[in-house]
Structure 1
């Protein structure tokens, strides 16, 4: 049997969940159902939201608001055709309902038709008395379209409606950053802080803007105010530590990083920064300790393994450097940075076959940096595998067609392979494109540079 809501004084959500556990059917006002459904949607409990919608529509079959929540779930689950059919029916009943236009906009957004979504949201704005959420949706659509100025203006309206809407505040600053308008961001944040002087989020963001302008003193002041506003704000301590590092104040930086560890669970990033500070202070034992703590905390953090590897590489302890980069590769063999580091270390150890293999893996996994091609060609040259060296440089030139380093190195390796015909062609081309960089060839291949053959070609092309 159906029970009236006032027979059960429990809150609607608790009462609804109680109903699901029994054979009873309770009656709820349409507004109660809306609250229940919103609760489940906000907490990501889609199955319960769908149950509530199904029951609510049996009790209130003519409720447009409940039907719109049904549409919202259909859109969320990408059942877009069914959602559009329902919206067509609802629009015949209520053409002035802004939520209909919002849901149609969501559908167009899902279909990547963001300009159509924007037009529908603008129509919803004309009909709505509460435009806050619509401006937020508009801002996101403009972001999808890379219209950062318009997105910024939309999110600014959200902040104007609710100055505690930190999500929109972050989006405003993101737009300023993308537009590289650091001055504008600083003015905006200072104006915001005049009205909200104890907003740690705004102080934190202001400090980051000052960093972008290399105004480190002002950045430190901003982070200090963020900490005054909230002495448990980890982000402010962390950013302050980074600024102190830039200023060479490594002991003070360490204090701030250690504070983040005391406030909350330790993070691998904090351990890594502390380790780097100790390394800059030439305290090798403490640097090693924190580097090891970094990879213990997060074995998948590539920067941690690279920090240990680089530590030993700088000490010219290449065997230990190789040991740790191999450990990193055992954990993540798909990381191109690890393979490149392995190649560099194996080159230092004159283990050229392994270096060649490591460079090959790095490239296959997507590392196409200029020095990767040049260093890999050097390995082939050291192995006297000149054909491979020429082939490697040809691949590199596809990515860097104007690179003088590749052009002159190719000339030298062709000469090592005794291919003077192609060497002459490549030298003429290199001189035509980058004659002022002939010193690269002179430095790496001095014996060939001094020959009459080379000097005649250079002289003929002056």
Structure 2
């Protein structure tokens, strides 16, 4: 519910009300003042103060429909749906043509996940209201809750037809286009919108993002330039322009745009990260690492920052520094699978096999089931002499990769090494049926098993058949 708040020089009714709360004096306010006071508190998320204002307001103006509706809104917010429903029923008897009654009733149905019923009530409210835009927006949100992006899009468009300045609805329209992967349709719609609103920086920004997704970088660049012409303090446009310039290989120009965002507002970790990437592309390694370190200082929870630093040192084969920073990252977020994958690979390169095995094991625990993860862990376990654990690891892997020759050859070699030739031959036959060319796995990892006459004969027959 929206009410226009009177902008008095020192917001006198609000000041009087807060003074009254401090002194426990009871002062009289007219109902409009109470409505504006409640609305102010709700818009600022001060629910407790809004409740006090509603109570005092209804004490002084017990017949005020708007104050009752505010009370209902607060009850719904607090999930006291039965109390809200009872109040709405009483209000409906008095004012069956009040659209806010239908809106709040729809809100209750929405809270109960009955979005179809909510939409039915909002459509009744639409017939009663002079404020079509807000209700079209509410209907659009109900369709979004049902994942009906087509109907959501239609209603947000209707909202914009009524109120072209409703950028929230415009963002929602584009969100629907994006979800439906209708990039060209989004461009057509935004182009039509811009015919009537040529200096709408939000529309230019959004059309640029659509061109970016379609890899039409020159058109994206032009759109972001228009967004900046429309509002030269629009941080998002500079940032997106920088990303386009990166794609075009214009790294110095991209850095300039990221630098502008730092001057317009507080520095962001994303700007520092992109600048680091640009400097790395320009082979300015000292500047690259400087900005990567600024990234993680600004936001230690941004995993892309720690990954950029780790990958930077890994690429230089400076594994000690890579390990140092990935350890710092893991200390901040020990459940990040991307960190553990790198931790495992770096330790493996450094021949710290027990730590590498721990890393791969943790990676699997966190749900990274890539075949390479299972196989590398297996090879490390073989290196550590933990053959039974290596077998168990591969059996678990087979649940995801039932037709993998790499797994079958390893299982064959492990069983031969453990002295169980029957199982060894069983897995060797499975492996040879899938692909005879992977027998090199057996030769390299298990030369003793590969040298067995029975093994060589079986491989020879399979390759000749």
Shared fold, TM over 0.5: yes
Aligned to 2:447: none
Aligned to 2:458: 453
Aligned to 2:298: 297
Q: Distance in 1 between matches of 2:211 and 2:19?
A: 54
Aligned to 2:270: 269
Q: Distance in 2 between matches of 1:179 and 1:58?
A: 51
Partner secondary structure for residue 451 of structure 1: helix
The 3 A distance-change label for structure 1 pair 404 and 85 is farther
Partner secondary structure for residue 25 of structure 1: coil
Partner secondary structure for residue 452 of structure 1: helix
How far off its partner does 1:446 sit?
A: 4.7
Q: Distance in 2 between matches of 1:407 and 1:210?
A: 47
The 3 A distance-change label for structure 1 pair 104 and 328 is same
Do residues 368 (structure 1) and 405 (structure 2) align? no
How far off its partner does 1:420 sit?
A: 4.6
The answer to whether the 8 Å contact 1:346/1:352 transfers is yes
The 3 A distance-change label for structure 1 pair 134 and 221 is same
The answer to whether the 8 Å contact 2:132/2:162 transfers is no
Partner secondary structure for residue 357 of structure 2: helix
How far off its partner does 1:16 sit?
A: 2.4
Aligned to 1:205: 206
Do residues 444 (structure 1) and 441 (structure 2) align? yes
Worse-superposed segment, 357-366 or 183-192: 357-366
The 3 A distance-change label for structure 1 pair 44 and 284 is same
The 3 A distance-change label for structure 1 pair 296 and 232 is same
Do residues 245 (structure 1) and 246 (structure 2) align? yes
How far off its partner does 1:414 sit?
A: 4.7
The 3 A distance-change label for structure 1 pair 459 and 311 is same
Q: Deviations over 1:116-175 (max 9, x none)?
A: 222222232233332221211111111111101011111111222211211111111111
Do residues 92 (structure 1) and 93 (structure 2) align? yes
Q: Distance in 1 between matches of 2:440 and 2:172?
A: 51
Worse-superposed segment, 388-397 or 98-107: 388-397
Q: Distance in 2 between matches of 1:140 and 1:417?
A: 62
The answer to whether the 8 Å contact 1:135/1:155 transfers is yes
Q: Deviations over 1:225-258 (max 9, x none)?
A: 1111111211111111111212222222112112
How far off its partner does 1:77 sit?
A: 1.0
The 3 A distance-change label for structure 1 pair 387 and 30 is same
Aligned to 2:161: 160
Aligned to 2:387: 386
Show the 5 A alignment for 1:186-205: 186-205=187-206
Aligned to 2:324: 323
How far off its partner does 1:359 sit?
A: 1.7
Aligned to 1:148: 149
How far off its partner does 1:73 sit?
A: 0.2
How far off its partner does 1:184 sit?
A: 0.6
Show the 5 A alignment for 1:7-406: 11-401=12-402, 406=407
Q: Distance in 2 between matches of 1:393 and 1:414?
A: 12
Q: Distance in 2 between matches of 1:97 and 1:240?
A: 48
Q: Distance in 2 between matches of 1:295 and 1:96?
A: 57
Partner secondary structure for residue 361 of structure 1: helix
CA RMSD of aligned residues (A): 2.5
**Unaligned stretches of 5+ in structure 2?**
1-9, 445-449
Q: Distance in 2 between matches of 1:304 and 1:37?
A: 44
How far off its partner does 1:459 sit?
A: 5.8
How far off its partner does 1:370 sit?
A: 3.8
The answer to whether the 8 Å contact 1:408/1:438 transfers is no
Partner secondary structure for residue 130 of structure 2: coil
How far off its partner does 1:71 sit?
A: 0.5
**Unaligned stretches of 5+ in structure 1?**
1-8
The answer to whether the 8 Å contact 2:115/2:142 transfers is yes
How far off its partner does 1:458 sit?
A: 5.8
Q: Deviations over 1:77-98 (max 9, x none)?
A: 1111211121222222222222
Q: Distance in 1 between matches of 2:407 and 2:115?
A: 44
Q: How many residues are treated as equivalent by the alignment?
A: 448
Q: Distance in 2 between matches of 1:438 and 1:189?
A: 57
Q: Distance in 1 between matches of 2:401 and 2:201?
A: 46
Q: Deviations over 1:315-350 (max 9, x none)?
A: 112122111111222222232221221111111111
Q: Deviations over 1:341-377 (max 9, x none)?
A: 1111111111111111122222223433443223322
Q: Deviations over 1:425-462 (max 9, x none)?
A: 44555666xx4x554x24534565993213434666xx
The answer to whether the 8 Å contact 1:337/1:367 transfers is no
The 3 A distance-change label for structure 1 pair 327 and 47 is same
